[in-house]
Homo-oligomer: A and B are copies of this chain.
Amino acid sequence: MAPTKAPDSSRRSDRSRRAIHDAALALVTEVGYRRTTIEGIAARAGVGKQTIYRWWPSKAAVLMDAFLDLAGRSAEGAGSGGEAQSDEAAQGIPDTGDLVADLKLVLRATVDELNDPVLEAPTRALTAEGIVDAKLGAEFVHRLLDPQLALYVTRLRAAQEAGDVRAGVDPRIALELLIGPLMHRWLLRTLPLTHAYADEIVDYAVGGLAPRP
């Protein structure tokens, strides 16, 4: 009956947790997701296998936590000092009044992140895993993607109030018009992902969202 009672997290070793995160990220970028094994992570982290199995249900879960930890750490110091969440999440999308310029700025930054060799392998691995595993995918979307997308919703709503976007447009759909093409090209590698591409997407998309004359 006892549903495998949870271990006492207050006694958990932070040192081991971090070592496991680092080892997981390093292995994924070095040998790829398929060939990173739990045993390999444990060995590299100087940790017993059981310590991993005690705290995480799967290899993907380890990588997800490691990735979130990485994103959180790289954002520290960029925020106003409090609890930053992620690079963009901490500061939001700028609102200079020029919607096109603001979006280009953010989408260019997204392009740079996607092309960053350090982030590429873990991001691809998690995305791919989420595509096949609905449960993990939901967690990925909820913990990583949704917070980012919420920023677009905010900025697009402001644009609607400013009259740059038609009132009837659903921000959730407008946002996908921007992000979708970027992700599509990155995921499927159909063509190179460049700043110029991001700019064109913004130009076309905003054109379709603007009020009819």
Can you list 23 A-B pairs, Cβ within 8 angstroms, ordered by A? Answer: A124-B131, A131-B131, A137-B188, A141-B188, A141-B190, A169-B204, A173-B201, A176-B180, A176-B181, A179-B181, A180-B180, A180-B181, A180-B182, A180-B185, A183-B183, A184-B184, A204-B205, A204-B208, A205-B205, A205-B208, A207-B207, A207-B210, A207-B212
For A33, give the chain B residue with the smallest CB separation: B132
Interface string of A33-60 (1 = CB under 8 A from B): 1100000000000000000000000000
Binding site for B on A (CB under 8 A): 32-34, 124-125, 127-134, 137-138, 140-141, 145-146, 149, 169-170, 172-174, 176-177, 179-185, 187-191, 197, 200-201, 203-210, 212-213
Collect the chain B residues with CB atoms within 8 Å of residue A125's CB.
Answer: 132
- The A contact surface, by secondary structure, is helix
For A121, give the chain B residue with the smallest CB separation: B132
Bound complex: CA of A59 vs CA of B129, how far in Å?
16
